Structure 1
Amino acid sequence: MLSSFRMANTFPECVGSVDVIAESDCIKKLLLMPFDSTLISLMVHRIGNTLLIDEFDLANHLILNESKQWSWLKRFVDDMIVNCKTNSKPMITKKVKTRDELQTKNMLCKFLHYSVDQNQNQTKESPEDKLRLSPKKSSQSDNKCHKSDDNEKKDFYFSHYNKESQVSEIIAKRLDQIEDNSETRFPGFLRNVLWTFEDIRMLVASNMPIFGDSNHPAVSLRLHDMKRPINVLTGLDYWLDNLMSSVPEVVMCYHLEGIVQKYELIKTEEIPQMSATKGSLFSPKVVQNIAQNILSFLKSKATKSGHTYWLFKGKHDDVVKLYDLTTLCVDYMRENDSNPFAIPVAMLLYRVAKNMKDANQSKHSPVIDSKIHKLLTNCLSLLDPTKHSQIISSANYLLSEVYIPNDIDPTLLPSVSDSNVGSDGSEEDFEDFDDFDSSDGSSDDLNVPTLEVKKLGFPDSYTNERPRKPKQSSSDFDVENSLEWSVKCERALKHIVEGLNSLFHSNVQKQEEILYKTSKDESQKMANPNEAIPLNYDSLNQDNCDNGSITGKELTQIAPQVIPNWKTCLEVCLLQKGAQVFCILAELANSKTNCLKALKFIRMGVMCYETALDIIEKSGQTNYFKEPITCLLALCGDIHLKILNTSLTTDESSDSDNEKEVNELFNKLPEILEKLSEKQLIEEFRWAYNPVINSENSVEQRLILCYRCYEEALYQLNDIKPTNKAKTENNTLQERLSKRLGYICNELANYYMNESLKHFNQIALTTKSLTNFREAVDLFTKVGDKENTSLMLSNTGRLMRTCAHIFAPTFRQNSSDEFSSKERQFYIKAMDYYKSALNELGVDSQSKYMNAFDNINWELCTTLYTIGCLMQDFAPLSTSAFEIVEEEITKYFTEALNLCQNGQKCDNSRNVLYQYRTATISHRLASLHHNSYRNMSDESERRKQIYNASNNYYEKSRLMYKLLNDKEEYVRVCLEQIGLHERNLSQLNGFGSKLKALHLILAIILTVNDIDFTDSETDEEKQKIDGLLQLLSARISLSVKALIKCYSSKASKHKDSIQKWTQIDEFIAKTNASKRTTVYDKVNKICAKINSSKLLETSPQK
């Protein structure tokens, strides 16, 4: 009776894409209707755009069958059909086969049996004598709807989740078990064929034997009595069977009283012209019109998905009627009556929805999700919550997955518009699923549609009177972009609670049945004289007994032991989905800085996880996936980190309707979890979502709590053994958690480092800081994050500098407080860490990691500069020789200068700092070499080399300060450089060399004239500059007098020069004596006087 449902369950991907699913006999009955006056009784169901048609034997079910499950239909038939019929002829009669019919059938069976060629090596007779063919072995895979061969299942994964969802497979096995147990009642067909008749696509099941050999690969075999001519019904039967199975030929075996007379091979397209008289048996065009008209009639009237329609035509009736039994039989249903078709329809709706879900796992289309939602909603409406807990729970799980897919990452929720943006056309595969409302109570429901049989053969005799409704979004599932994530979570949570409630009530009902059975057995059984004593029968072989049927209430009585642990799988999957939903809700609350509400949601998600874990452990299984707790613990760490920067306040704004609904479901869930677990939950991870910290040092404790959350999350994740498909996602999640843990280690290390600066000589704090920095380096190195690894090494270098600062004397007042070896040791370690950080970035660090390179380069440059300055200012001469100290200072400053040059290649905000650093280091190097030159003996071989190095560094520093417009430092460097040349002048004896040195000194002094000292400086800076300019003015006077003295040694040759320089000397004396002019004006006038004299034009200048 339900062959179409078995076919649809076998090929759910065909539901919606074909017009009709039925066995061949049903199709033939419909197409033979105008030619045959026999009774027609077919049950019709609609799923999407597909009609499922099955034969319904009225006599067998309503007259001969004593079962009460069809009593409601019998009452309806009596009132609506039998009693209303005025004709005295009986409409519903049992089909009685005559003796001739039985003999004909027996003869056909023997004929087919002996037609099979048992010996393939026998010599084949010619077709004229006897065509003997081997049966063609046709597998279902030849013409059937092909299922997907993709064995790769969707991973239960939303970044933090990568478990394979088991609930769909469990229910699929459950339905397969039901079908396997029903094989005796519903034998399988030889083949399932996709048949396209004109523009009508049908999935047809056929049992017609097909034979073939090398010359005739596919033929059908027919036995016919030569006394009887081939009529229309016989010809149509042969023709339709061959068309459905794509058989090109039929072999006719003619006989007289069982004796074969001849064989005839006929083409399938020639069958309509097989009439013994002139003319043809029938017109294929007429048959096409019949098919089109019947399909149009059924499509326009059988519009409600899930409803049961009865297509009925009485014997010799001129019209065929379509009854909507779901609507019309409401008044005929009594308390214990139910529609036997409801459960198979619901199961098919579930299968089709599951198939659509599986076919679109990697992409989420709002249109397809809406259709899945519609199918599952109709499925639930057909089931009794107290009897069908398994399917109801599974449907609720899939509905929750429609709202919250498994692969959604709570930490990376797409925007509402992005989550529903189009699909790549995948919904076109399911475009034949219409959106007619199954609960539409129109005024036409009580009118019985009719169709005149005589008009079926005419083209377009029946047109679709009911136009297709435009597609509209369901009120419960909006395919537009209006559903916020909070609304999706609320609706998903509602289905999760309903699914868990269904499973819980099934447990209660089962326990009550056991208690009732026990009490009934223990009580005294009294015989009732008015009732027969039933003789109970239990099969000795329980394993082989029939556990259920696909029809009626027997479907709900299948032993739950058919598939072990189906209930456990459903409970665990629903609880894991609950953990995912609460994780998303917590993420949403966290994004709104509502930390307390987020922790509350996390607590409930952890409770779902612990309940699932308890159920798994009680079932004796040890393999359990821990992604939910990984996600929740990681989110806990994020929230505790946010609490450090925000206050623990509750959102006092009024809750929306959606939030109120979530709160109601939130309050219901703990009771359900406690009942499912059958014990009070321990709440092992209570420490993670407890917002209160009873400690004076709350910052440290909060950071430690964050560290513990991430560490535990990573531990739980490492305990997972993912599938091959989920390995990449699992590695990505592990990388993200490792980075978060490394970030917390960095925060803890920085906290301890800053605290150590407040409390000197706290070695324990610096040790904790170093430990956390090293752990952070290991974590980032493990995940291959070069940038963060280098930054952690850089921070460790900063810690070493902090340690050096801790071990330095508190107040350094003079050079007696030498640079200690302990300080030196920590600075060297700091340099090593900084260099390791740069090496970690690689050779292309300046372009690839510009910011990280710039930071580390600057820190290393600062470290080298600092150690160079400390060694220069507080030279450790008690432990090292002056030459060695000088060499090390030069080495550190030179490296720092190189780093400054590298840093200036990057176009960033530190360029000015690098220029100042370059000028300062050059100045210090010049001073260092100046001091060495001053302390050297006259006979030293390196004297000239040191002099040139010092002069070059002075020049470099002076030019850099001029570029930076630093007037004070520029003048100071000029004075020091003049001092260098004056020291050199004292060592010279020749006239030319002394003259050259003096000209060089004056040339340096004259460069001051290029700087504008009138800019707005502070009074303090102006006083300093004025003091330096006075020294410079004195140097000018001394240099001019030295020149006059030098020229006087050879007065005979340089009388003119002596006279001019004497005039300049007098001008200098007069200018310096003036009290109304500023120092800058005095220097400016003197420089202008010297420049105008052009006495230095021939002097060497740099």
Structure 2
Amino acid sequence: MEDMEADNDQKRTKSRSPSPGIKSTAVVKYTAFQSPVGYARLQCNTDLNMPPSNWGAAIDSYGLKQILTRGTGFSSFRMAHMFPDCVGEVDVISGAECIKKLLKLPYQPNGTVSMMVHRVENTLLLDDFDVYDYLMKSEWSWLKDFFYENILKTMSEQERTSLTLAPAPSSALQLTHKFLSHSVAPPLQPLQPAPDTQAVCLPDKRPFLPEPETRAEEPPNEHLYNRNVLWTFEDIHMLIGSDLPIFGDKDRPCVSLRLRDAREPINVLTGIDYWLDNLMCNVPEVLMCYHLDGIVQKYEPMKTEDLPNMENSKFSPKVIRNVAQNILSFLKSNATKAGHTYWLFKGPHDDVVKLYDLTSLCPDSLDNPFTTPVAMLLYRVARNMRMTNRSKHVRQLLEHVIELLKVERYPQIVASSHYMLADLYVPATTNPANPDFKEETSDSDCEDPDFATSEYPPTGGGADSAVDVPGDGDSALALQIHNLALRDIGDRVRDTIGRKSSSDSGSALGSSAPQRCGRALTHALKGLLALHHVTINKCKEEERERVKQQIIIEEQHPKMANPFEPIKMSYEPITKTEVKEHNSRSRRRKRERKTSDKTADKTGNCLIESKSNIDKNAIQVLKEKKVYPTWHEPNRDDNFAWKLHLKTLLYENICLAYATLAEYSYSNEQYGFSLKYIDMASKCQKLLSNMIIKSKVVDAGCLIGRVGDNYFQMSKFWHRFEQFKKQFETDHDIDSKIRLELENDMIEEVDKVVADEFELDISLPTSEVSAMLLSCAAYSAAAAAAADRRAELLRRKASVRNELAVRYMNDAQQIYMKYIEEPDLKDPKAKLLLKQFAVTSRKSLDCLDEATEIFKQVNDIPNLALLYCNKGRYLRFKAHCDQGGFGSEKRRLYNEAEELYQSALSLLGPKETCGATSVWELVAWELSCHLYTRAVLMQDTPDIYNEVTEVAEALKHALKHCPLSPGPRQYLYQFRAAMVYHRLGSLYHSQYRITQEEGPKRRTLLNATRTNYEQASNMFALLEDASMFLTVQLEHVAVLETQAAVSPNLKLKSLQSAIQLLRQCHSIMKVLKDKDPEEKETPKPDDGDEKNMKNEHSLLSLYENRLHFILKSIIQYCRSKSNKDYEKITDLHKKLYCASLKIKKNDDIRLYAASICDVLVNMDEISKEFE
């Protein structure tokens, strides 16, 4: 066995192990006594039977009496409770004697092993189990029957007797104790208390929770080890309890003292004992004191590494190492279920070690004395672990706690477990608007596949064998038994840990808000129901008054720092030393460090828009204020205070979960659900605000403001109202149960209900307008409740008022359209419509005025400018309803509207520095539209031709304020500018036609007309708008034809210019030629011109007609002249006319345009021949 591993062991890395052939390190986690103790060698012939001078109470300060006592059955649990940070990190927690007993198995074939094994996460807890001692107790009756029937019947009487785990002879122990007492040298200085070497944990900022409860049946004088040591043996990490006395002097600073009978040689088991004790405590040597009948003979030192090679007691450290690895692999592979009790047993002559899963034998989990300690330990570990990024493991631990404990007996622990589970699903730091529910990484979730959830009792499967245990009636339980053969236990293990491959150890927490909030609410409700079982022996009213006074006193007299005690700092080293660990634990810690460094709490709040994806108007948790109650932790037995405290925590979680659901529903357009969840959250917050332990979770202004948001969104999606109504009226089972708890607690916990800002009366609106009115009312209430957010809430109210004004304006317009359609305007129905129109339009103006005042109050310049625009639109709407011509009343309304638009631009200031470019462009566009509409109205009114100058100025101002900057609306802006140029050209054209006398005015009008037509045609060509381009060009041609008719001297030049304009249409003809028949036209502003606009086919026909007519006119004019130059012009235009006759009319616009394109190309070639 040893030869097979010789080569591998030569490659083993060196360590400071007392036995160099084996990797072993020991770090003291806690020591109860000062160590090492000074010692002096006893003189030869010293009689150890005589009591030493220090025999008595003083010797207790060295912890030497511990060797006379034995550990009780729950020692591993006590260690786990002392060091919860080790649970899950180490492989084994046990006393040193248990470990030694297991490791000596190959050298003690007739030995007996009886231990209880429990698993907590990745850690095994081992405790000695004295069969006879425990089975005599009544609580173990369920195991007694099985033991007698299946084990004792197969043993001989001698084997039965050997099952008793009797201690060593008392006389030998007493003599050893006297020897050690004799050897103690008095210290030169008084002993100082041993420093507490426990690691100082960073302060937990979470609320305090109940401590695990201790069992009343536990012995009061429980055995506490001299020291607790983190022992790493090869790759096995253990937390052990050791009572080995360690001595030291100037020659041998660290040594263990052993008393040996000179007549008896040291056997193998004793040698292994000494070797393991020294390894566990990192002691490099042992000092043997030999005696004869208690008389000291001699001392003999020996190094720890030489102990395996002593004469008559040789053993192989490698075999011991293999035994440790094999047993750990066996236990980890089979003791996989947290909360189950396993019995590791080996009879005196058995060749196998058996592992029984005893949980199936126990009909009631509470009949198992280990159930409560296991549950309490799981609870402590979960409570300690929840600050790490291992929420899935914490969830599994807490679920086991709830399964193991009866809520009637441990209501506080069960309620606390449910609260922690609820807090796992919806942490107290959750931002309802951006919950950030992330799943843990797959490595983190599956790093310990053996730690799997299970049902209680187990359903069986996967055992090496099973024994049918008779039960009540015909039913039978299958007891799982796993065997480990001793034959090969000392061989080299092939898999260090031997973990079973397993799939995911349980369902994940989930990342969707509804899923996690639903589970959080379920656990919070179960926690509230668990608190019903908390017994309060004293009068409830007296207890309430006592707690009230306690809170008042603590608020008036806060804890002050002691000037004589240093304040502990939460210190963490910047550079952390990396400890070599096995892979899974190392990966886990690296993950936790990486996760703890990530912070993503980003917020933004800009006036116009925020770059953050988080809604700045969402429900907010009061993070900066104290989320948890500020009073101090109650006493363990103060049931009334604990019940209040836990109830407060549970309702806080319920309130937060409903707030998160409300935000999720709002963001997913489920406004009915959102209102229902806000109603539940407000009820929770109302209770929390009026309980003895007062707490605020959500901001009142945000919560009520979100009610207003929901009402407003309902008004925008009114066609889905029935869907919202169904959502609001849907009451899930958990909602109704929580509502019942709230109602009961409002009676039980609140003396007198004080109406506060969370007194919400949420109901569904009856109409679209009522939804907006309810929204405004909610914003007003929210602004009154939250002074710090008043401006933002009023701003939202003003926005709804603005929307309401627009709605009233549209309704008024529809009413007016019905009114003017009435045949008799003096009819009662028409009069009623007119009255409704007046009332509705007045409501619109009132809403606009109120919104304007609010925006002035909060100094919201961009929104105030937009309100001025809407008021201007209202005045234009009123002017439009005036059926007369452009009279004084209509002119007054338009003037007032223009003043409002100008005021809006003045408020914003220059476009480059206003900070709201989009708003500035919108206001400028509205002003341009207003001026254009006014000009069109005046221009189209036939009885005011004397107002040409006013019309022209209005059009010019409309052109000035029309933004042409690049952007999504650029096409719209350019089209409007082109239409303004066209209108100006048409205006000057009409004035040119009616001006009879020749002179500067006529020439000015002609130039203005041609200039504006050219600008318009250029812009329409850029926009590729064929119909408007042809319209402008043909009107331009008409001007030139008019000039030719009234100015004979310029006739030829005018006609030639007209032909040139017609030939410039080549590019637009290509557009028509290549136009996709299914292509939709780009939407254009709703202008009156479009009503009279000719379609493209008629424009092409008119184009062809004017081309033929003007060419013939030129030919006729040149023929009347006798000049040779005119002959050349005649010949050119004859050929051009002949070419124009080749235009083929077609109903298909593309073919018609293609024919014109070909003719224009031909005409260009003819013109080049005459150049």
Q: What TM bracket, shorter-length normalisation? A: 0.5 to 0.7
State the number of aligned residues. 920
Q: Is the 8 A contact 1:346 1:382 kept in 2?
A: yes
Which amino acid in the other structure matches residue 642 of structure 1?
Answer: M
2:640, 2:1036 → 1: CA distance? 91
- Secondary structure in 2 aligned to 1:965? helix
TM-score of the pair, normalised by structure 2: 0.62
Residues of 1 paired with 2:132 and 2:442: CA distance?
52
CA distance in 2, matches of 1:680, 1:890: 70
Task: Give the 5 Å matches for 1:522-671.
Answer: 560-561=636-637, 565-582=641-658, 599-600=675-676, 602-615=678-691, 618-619=692-693, 621=694, 623-626=695-698, 630=702, 634=706, 637-638=709-710, 641-642=713-714, 645-646=718-719, 648-649=721-722, 661-662=733-734, 665=737, 669=741
Q: Secondary structure at the match of 2:239?
A: strand
Q: SS where residue 43 of structure 1 aligns?
A: strand
User: What do the CA deviations read for 1:962-1017 (whole angstroms, capped 9, x no partner)?
Assistant: 7532355543344456668999x6xxxxxxxx956861465236635777999999
2:384 corresponds to 1:348: no
2:278 aligned partner, one-letter code: N
8 A contact 1:311–1:320 mirrored in 2: yes
Match of 1:240 in 2: 276
Distance in structure 2 (CA, Å) of the matches to 1:253 and 1:307: 44
Give the C-alpha shift of residue 564 in structure 1: 8.6
Residues 963-1002 of structure 1 correspond to what in structure 2 (within 5 A)? Answer: 964-966=1026-1028, 967-976=1030-1039, 995=1049, 999-1000=1053-1054, 1002=1056
Residues 86 and 829 of structure 1: CA distance in aligned 2, closer, same or farther (over 3 Å):
same
Q: CA deviation at 1:501?
A: 1.2
> Hey, what's the Cα distance between the residues in 2 that align with 1:207 and 1:582?
54
CA-to-aligned-CA distance 1:405-450 (integer Å, 9 cap, x gap): 6677766789xxxx78672532254445244555225443746959
The residue aligned with 2:62 is none
Match of 1:497 among 522, 525, 540: 525
The match for 2:1085 is none
Looking at structure 1, the residues matched to 116 and 384 of structure 2 have their Cα atoms a distance apart, in angstroms, of 24
State the shift of 1:346 in Å: 0.8
C-alpha separation in 2, matches of 1:1033 and 1:306: 101
Say whether the 8 Å CA contact 1:311–1:323 is kept in structure 2. yes
Q: Which runs of 5+ in 2 are unaligned?
A: 1-71, 461-465, 470-478, 544-633, 817-836, 1078-1089, 1138-1151
The verdict on how the C-alpha distance between 1:580 and 1:322 changes in structure 2, with shifts beyond 3 A counting, is same
- Structure 1 residue 20 and structure 2 residue 92: aligned? yes
1:506 alignment partner, one of 534, 543, 554: 534
Q: 1:308 aligns with which of 316, 322, 341?
A: 341
Counterparts of 1:714 and 1:891, CA distance in 2: 46
Residue 389 of structure 1 and its aligned partner are, at CA, apart by: 0.7
- How high is the sequence identity, in percent, across the aligned residues? 25
Find the counterpart in structure 2 of residue 705 from structure 1.
Answer: 774
User: Are the aligned partners of 1:232 and 1:282 in contact in 2 as well (CA < 8 Å)?
Assistant: yes
AA aligned to 1:200 is: I
Query: Counterparts of 1:738 and 1:816 in 2: how far apart (Å)?
Result: 38
Counterpart CA distance in 2 for 1:513 and 1:939 is: 107
CA contact (8 A) 1:797 1:829 kept: yes
State the TM-score, normalized to the length of structure 1: 0.65
Contact residue 342 and residue 356 of structure 2 kept, 8 A: yes
1:680-720 CA deviation, whole Å, 9 max, x = no partner? Answer: 978978985633557xxx43332132244456567767789
Which SS does the other structure have where 1:203 is aligned? strand
User: How far did residue 298 of structure 1 move?
Assistant: 3.9
Q: State whether residues 190 and 208 of structure 1, in contact with CA within 8 Å, keep that contact through their aligned partners in structure 2.
A: yes
SS class of match (2:232) = strand
**Aligned-partner Cα distance in 2 for 1:931–1:654:** 66
1:359 counterpart SS class: coil
1:427 aligns with 2:486: no
Equivalent residues of 2:655, 2:697 under 8 A apart: no
- Give the C-alpha shift of residue 578 in structure 1: 3.0
Distance in 2 (alpha carbons) for counterparts of 1:308 and 1:1000 = 112
Q: CA deviation at 1:107?
A: 3.7
- 1:769 aligns to 2:769 (yes or no): no
Amino acid aligned to 2:1026 = L
Give the 3-state SS of the residue equivalent to 1:971 in structure 2: helix
Contact 1:791 1:837 in 2 (8 A): no
Q: Is the 8 A contact 1:322 1:450 kept in 2?
A: yes
Aligned residue runs from structure 1 range 687-1086, under 5 A = 688=760, 690-693=762-765, 698-709=767-778, 744=800, 746-751=802-807, 754=810, 759=837, 765-772=844-851, 793-794=865-866, 796-803=868-875, 805-806=877-878, 810-811=882-883, 813=885, 819-820=891-892, 823-833=894-904, 858-866=925-933, 889=954, 892-896=957-961, 899=963, 901-902=964-965, 905-906=966-967, 911=971, 914-915=974-975, 917-921=977-981, 923-924=983-984, 927=987, 951-960=1010-1019, 964-966=1026-1028, 967-976=1030-1039, 995=1049, 999-1000=1053-1054, 1002-1004=1056-1058, 1007-1008=1061-1062, 1021=1094
State the Cα deviation string for residues 904-930 of structure 1 (Å, max 9, x = none).
x4466x626633532433541784699
The answer on whether the counterparts of 2:705 and 2:793 sit within 8 Å (CA) in structure 1 is no
- Partners of 2:1129 and 2:138 lie apart in 1 by 140
Instruction: State the AA in 2 paired with 1:865.
Output: Y
Structure 2 Cα separation of the partners of residues 452 and 999 of structure 1: 118
Corresponding residue SS for 1:497: helix
Once residues 193 and 110 of structure 1 are traced to their aligned partners in structure 2, the CA distance between those partners, rounded to angstroms, is 27
| Gap change, CA 1:74 and 1:1036, over 3 Å in 2 | closer
798 and 604 in structure 1: CA distance in 2 versus 1, 3 angstrom threshold: closer
Structure 1 residue 170 and structure 2 residue 209: aligned? yes
Change (3 A) 1:48 1:777: farther
Distance change >3 Å, CA 739–CA 709, structure 1 → 2: same
Cα RMSD (Å) of the superposition?
6.6
One-letter amino acid of the structure 1 residue matched with residue 527 of structure 2: G
Instruction: Find the aligned partners of 2:852 and 2:387 in 1 and give their Cα distance.
Output: 46
Q: Is the 8 A contact 2:705 2:782 kept in 1?
A: yes
Conserved? CA contact 1:289–1:460, under 8 Å: yes
Amino acid at match of 1:766: L
Deviations 1:772-831 (A, max 9, x none): 3675799897xxxxxxx96774464233332355368924525777844x6435324324
Partners of 2:658 and 2:851 lie apart in 1 by 32
The change in CA–CA distance for 1:660 and 1:745 in structure 2 (over 3 A counts) is closer
Q: Deviations over 1:149-197 (max 9, x none)?
A: 5x575xxxxxxxxxxx53xx323xx24x969999985576565443332
State the 1:393 CA deviation: 0.9
Whether 2:403 is the aligned partner of 1:381: answer yes
Q: Distance in 2 between matches of 1:456 and 1:1027?
A: 108
What amino acid is the match of 2:770?
Answer: Q
| In structure 2, distance between residues paired with 1:676 and 1:281 | 74
What is the identity, as a one-letter code, of the residue corresponding to 1:170?
Answer: L
Pairwise CA distance, 1:345: 0.9
